[in-house]
């Protein structure tokens, strides 16, 4: 059993790798086999060491866990969604969380129109029906996740899928909602998601050996024969996704690589129908299809890097049939549209914020000019909930900021009136009292990097936190796949802010905050911009007086873990502590192996180092595991999961071992592995709170906040 001052020392067994004239010797390549008893023993020894080292933080961890628990309304109801089932009637659908239980239950009750919204303060809605009890399904399981829960268009059946190991392979099951009984139909080893094709068939995906969703199947309920294979995606760069149109008439199959897409439609009613491509795939052309009754709305980037809007006949099979509606605007990224009978709702990223605008439709269904929906806060996020009803006089918005808890808003189309249906409750803290947004401040500042680019940073802190360099600060970053880190609210984060910290998000290049160019300037040949941007943001927070280097921590997960690893190699003195979650830190080794999950698909994001010497040299230059140096690194906490299929546990385990051996750093380096979990970590909410408390307590201990008073 390791002691608090002696981490485990894994054996070093030299294994060489040669590509493009470069040879790298990897002493920990033997860790690739995660079923190896020696490797599992090493992970358990690391867990024991981490537990021993962090034992003095038990009281602080409990305090933070109690903070989260006290502020969270643990028995609660989601905002019900209105659904009209032909032949069955109108219903409200909602989920209920219950104090003491990790997982919710799913329910419905009869509705009398859209204005009959159930009031959770008045107890159980009349006629409530339990549809699915996730807690009961999770009983006795160390891990549990739903891949889908989807009610049939006629409201009589439901499909759900479950993963109990974290490897993202699910078992698909069907329910008869009128009797409450499970049906005999079951399909093992499916991917997440799926949709109904009419009322008696369900479409689902399966994955190949690289965990890539590559085949679309149709299961007809009650049919004991082999399911019908509708499509196989042979190109290993592309993965599939499936959904239904709002009117449930069409199954929509999408194939996407990192730079190209293709969409097919399948008539869900006609059993003899076949898939029809809306437009053949073309290199570097992406398009997304919204079915709107008699036409298609298409968001695409053909001639418009930040995407443009077109419409086409429902029967369209060629881009020549696309009629432009909006030409696009440089720097304003059109993310997608949702169509209703009276309005077309656009989601855009404008000035670094995710916003919603409207285009009202006339009696013929044609769209008008763009109309904005304004909010008062300087930074926020708003999105539209698609819903199921095209014929509606209101749309439902989801709104939040770094100080405003999540709100669900009914926006009335006739007069623009807004009704807040629910704001996430934040209960009174036994010491700090009630939550008041006015006690906190949020703002956006900008760091200027060497090439003159201005990098936005979103900040939130208590109003009484001194901005004189004495505050602790946690800087978060991601910076890949055009994924934007939008301003959001977090109850767990309050435990950090109330202890004198500033929380910051670096919106580095590689994300999508400022349009498609922001993404392309942080990928492939420009990938290193992501890392230098993050370091510049850290330096700016110190030079501007928000914090000091000895109080500055950093955090990132998955591709954000690569960001953390590369940043501390370039500037080990920039941070006092870092948390890397499921970090992609042995990137070059992984991307060189096309047999590993997801690798071939990733070549369009990082480059193809197996066949391209320039891509190899570039990744060899920044891959964290291969660029360690002798230096005093910050304190490092690495968290990972044994069953992660996106970033194999091998990567963080090798990185920790090499950091200890190669760097000579005197700061603690810890590895914590969830032995039954996947890429997202623990599945139960109470364990997730304990994990958050563990991570925050460690960060606070390594970057102690200023003394108050």
CATH number, domain containing residue 515: 3.40.50.1820
Together in a domain, 453 and 548: yes
Q: What is the CATH number of the domain that holds 405?
A: 2.130.10.120
pLDDT for the residue 606: 95
Has residue 467 been placed in a domain? yes
Per-residue pLDDT for 120 more than 80? Answer: no
Q: What is the DSSP letter of 630?
A: S
- Residue 59 backbone class (left: φ over 0; alpha: ψ -120 to 50; beta: rest): alpha
Residue after which a domain boundary falls, among 425, 443, 477? 425
* Domain co-membership, 441 together with 383: no
For residue 392, is it within any domain? Answer: yes
Res 707 pLDDT > 70: no
Single out the residue in 363, 395, 425 at which a domain terminates.
Answer: 425
Q: Do residues 351 and 417 both lie within one domain?
A: yes
- Of the candidates 70, 59, 75, 93, the one whose C-alpha atom is nearest the C-alpha of residue 177 is 93
Find residue 636's DSSP bridge partners: 578, 669
> Is residue 488 one of the residues assigned to a domain?
yes
Q: Is 147 exposed, middle or buried (0-12, 13-18, 19+ CB in 10 A)?
A: buried
Catalytic residue among 245, 260, 558, 641, which?
A: 558
Question: If we measure between CA atoms, which residue out of 613, 617, 708, 627 comes closest to residue 662?
Answer: 627
The yes-or-no verdict on residue 525 having pLDDT over 90 is yes
The verdict on 360 and 439 lying in the same domain is no
Q: Which residues pair with 174 in a beta bridge?
A: 159
Does the annotation count 558 as an active-site position? yes
Give the pLDDT confidence score for residue 709 in this predicted structure: 41
Find residue 213's DSSP bridge partners. 207
Within a domain: 484 = yes
Rounded percentage of the chain residues whose pLDDT exceeds 70: 98
Q: Do residue 501 and residue 568 come from a single domain?
A: yes
Looking at residues 482-508, what average pLDDT do you find?
A: 97
Q: Tell me, what's the pLDDT at 216? A: 98
Catalytic residue, chosen from 107, 219, 579, 679, is 679
Tell me, yes or no, whether 315 and 464 share the same domain.
Answer: no
**225: confidence class by pLDDT, cuts 50, 70, 90:** confident
Domain boundary among 425, 453, 487: 425
| Average pLDDT of the residues in 10-28 | 97
Say whether 679 is catalytic.
Answer: yes
Q: What are phi and psi of 226, to 5 degrees?
A: -70, 140
Q: Minimum mean pLDDT among 32-41, 562-571, 669-678: which range?
A: 669-678
What lies within 8 Å, CB to CB, of 432 at 6+ separation is: 498
> Between 143 and 579, where is the model more confident?
579
Q: What pLDDT shows up at residue 343?
A: 96
In 544-672, alpha helices (H) = 559-570, 587-591, 599-606, 613-622, 650-663
d(CA 325, CA 49): 60
Q: In this predicted model, what pLDDT tens digit does every residue of 279-303 receive, in sequence order?
A: 999 999 999 999 999 999 999 999 9
Per-residue pLDDT for 676 more than 60?
Answer: yes
The residue segments making up the domain with residue 326 are 303-425
Q: Which residue has the tokens 């304003």?
A: 332
Pairing of strands 577-581, 552-557: parallel
The pLDDT of residue 129 is above 90: yes
Rounded to an integer, the average pLDDT of 256-282 is 95
Residue 159 forms part of a structural domain: no
Residue 197 CA neighbour count, 13 Å, CB half: 27
∠ Cα 610 612 616 (to 5°): 70
Is residue 594, in this structure, part of any structural domain at all?
no
Report the C-alpha gap between 681 and 701 in whole angstroms: 23
Question: Which burial class, exposed, middle or buried, applies to 534 when counting CB atoms under 10 A from its CB (0-12, 13-18, 19+)?
Answer: buried
Q: Return mean pLDDT, the chain.
A: 95
Evaluate if residue 681 carries a pLDDT over 70.
Answer: no
Residue 534 lies in a domain: yes
Q: Which residue has the higher pLDDT, 705 or 61?
A: 61
The residue-averaged pLDDT of 553-579 equals: 98
- Residue 434 and residue 398 in one domain: no
Whether the per-residue pLDDT at 590 is higher than 60: the answer is yes
Residues 529 and 546 in one domain: yes
Q: Is residue 277 annotated as part of the catalytic site, yes or no? A: no
pLDDT at 704: 87
Same domain, 490 and 468: yes
Dmax over CA atoms of the chain, in Å, equals: 75
Four-point Cα dihedral 687, 691, 697, 699, nearest 10: -170
511-529 average pLDDT score: 96
Which whole number is the average pLDDT over 452-469? 96
Mean pLDDT of 446-461: 97
| Confidence band of 2 (pLDDT split at 50, 70, 90) | very low
Q: Which two tokens stand for residue 334?
A: 């059109």
Q: Is residue 57 part of a domain?
A: yes
Query: What does the pLDDT average to over 679-705?
Result: 89
Q: What is the mean pLDDT of residues 467-494?
A: 97
Q: Which whole number is the average pLDDT over 333-359?
A: 96
- Segment 159-172 mean pLDDT: 94
Look at 1-5, 224-228, 265-269, 589-593 and tell me which has the smallest mean pLDDT: 1-5
Looking at the structure, tell me whether residues 449 and 524 fall in a common domain.
Answer: yes
Shared-domain flag, residues 471 and 372: no
From 67, 199, 644, 691, active-site residue: 644
- Mean pLDDT for the stretch of residues 461-470: 95
Residues 382 and 475 in one domain: no
User: Could you give the number of structural domains in the chain?
Assistant: 2
pLDDT for 3: 54
């Amino acid at each position: 059993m390791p002691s608090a001052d002696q981490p485990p020392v894994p054996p070093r067994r030299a294994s060489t790798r040669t590509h493009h004239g470069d040879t790298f010797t990897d002493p920990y390549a033997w860790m690739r086999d995660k079923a190896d008893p020696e490797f599992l023993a090493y992970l358990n020894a690391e867990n024991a060491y981490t537990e021993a080292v962090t034992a003095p933080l038990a009281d602080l961890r409990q305090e933070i866990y109690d903070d989260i628990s006290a502020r969270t309304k643990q028995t609660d109801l989601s905002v019900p969604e209105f659904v009209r089932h032909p032949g069955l009637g109108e219903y409200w659908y909602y989920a209920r969380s219950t104090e003491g239980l990790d997982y919710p239950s799913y329910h419905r009750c009869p509705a009398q129109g859209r204005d009959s919204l159930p009031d959770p303060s008045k107890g159980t809605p009349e006629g409530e029906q339990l549809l699915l009890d996730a807690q009961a399904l999770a009983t006795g399981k160390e891990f549990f996740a739903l891949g889908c829960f989807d009610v049939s268009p006629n409201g009589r059946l439901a499909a759900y899928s479950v993963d109990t190991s974290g490897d993202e392979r699910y078992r698909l099951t069907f329910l008869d909602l009128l009797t409450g009984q499970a049906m005999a139909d079951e399909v093992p080893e499916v991917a997440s998601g799926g949709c109904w094709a009419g009322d008696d068939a369900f479409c689902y995906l399966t994955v190949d050996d690289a965990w890539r969703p590559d085949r679309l199947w149709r299961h007809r309920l009650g049919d004991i024969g082999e399911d019908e294979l509708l499509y196989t995606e042979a190109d290993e760069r592309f993965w599939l996704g499936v959904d239904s149109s709002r009117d449930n008439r069409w199954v929509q199959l999408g194939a996407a690589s990192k730079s190209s897409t293709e969409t097919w439609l399948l008539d869900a009613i006609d059993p003899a129908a076949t898939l029809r491509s809306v437009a053949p795939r073309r290199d570097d052309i992406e398009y997304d299809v919204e079915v709107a009754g008699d036409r298609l709305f298409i968001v695409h980037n053909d001639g418009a890097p930040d995407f443009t809007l077109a419409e086409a006949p429902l029967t369209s099979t060629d881009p020549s049939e696309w009629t432009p509606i909006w030409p696009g605007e440089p720097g304003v990224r059109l993310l997608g549209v949702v169509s209703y009978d009276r309005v077309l709702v656009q989601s855009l990223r404008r000035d670094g914020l995710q916003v919603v605008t409207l285009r009202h439709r006339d009696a013929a269904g044609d769209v008008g000019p763009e109309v904005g929906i304004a909010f008062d806060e300087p930074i926020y996020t708003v999105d539209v909930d698609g819903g199921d009803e095209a014929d509606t006089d209101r749309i439902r918005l989801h709104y939040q900021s770094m100080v405003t808890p999540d709100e669900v808003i009914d926006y009335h189309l006739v007069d623009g009136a807004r009704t807040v249906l629910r704001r996430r409750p934040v209960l009174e803290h036994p010491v700090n009292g009630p939550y008041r947004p006015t006690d906190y401040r949020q703002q956006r500042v900008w760091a200027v990097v060497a090439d003159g680019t201005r990098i936005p940073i979103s900040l939130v802190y208590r109003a009484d936190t001194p901005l004189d360099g004495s505050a602790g600060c946690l800087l978060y970053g991601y910076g890949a796949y055009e994924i934007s880190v939008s301003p959001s609210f977090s109850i767990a984060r309050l435990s950090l802010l109330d202890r004198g910290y500033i929380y910051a998000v670096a919106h580095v290049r590689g994300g999508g905050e400022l349009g498609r160019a922001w993404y392309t300037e942080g990928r492939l040949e420009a990938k290193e911009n992501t890392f230098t941007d993050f370091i510049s943001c850290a330096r700016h927070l110190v030079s501007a007086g928000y914090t000091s280097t000895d109080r500055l921590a950093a955090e990132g997960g998955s591709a954000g873990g690569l960001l953390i690893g590369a940043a501390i190699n370039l500037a080990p003195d920039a941070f006092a502590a870092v948390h890397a979650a499921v970090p992609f830190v042995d990137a070059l080794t992984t991307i060189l192996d096309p047999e590993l999950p997801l690798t071939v698909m990733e070549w369009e994001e990082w480059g193809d180092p197996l066949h391209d010497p320039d891509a190899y040299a570039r990744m060899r230059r920044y891959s964290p595991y291969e660029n360690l140096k002798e230096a005093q690194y910050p304190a490092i906490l690495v968290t990972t999961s044994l069953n992660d299929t996106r970033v194999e546990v091998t990567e963080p385990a090798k990185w920790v071992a090499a950091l200890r051996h190669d760097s000579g750093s005197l700061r603690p380096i810890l590895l914590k592995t969830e032995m039954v979990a996947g890429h997202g970590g623990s599945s139960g909410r109470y364990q997730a709170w304990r994990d958050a408390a563990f991570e925050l307590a460690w960060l606070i201990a390594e970057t102690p906040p200023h003394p108050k008073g």
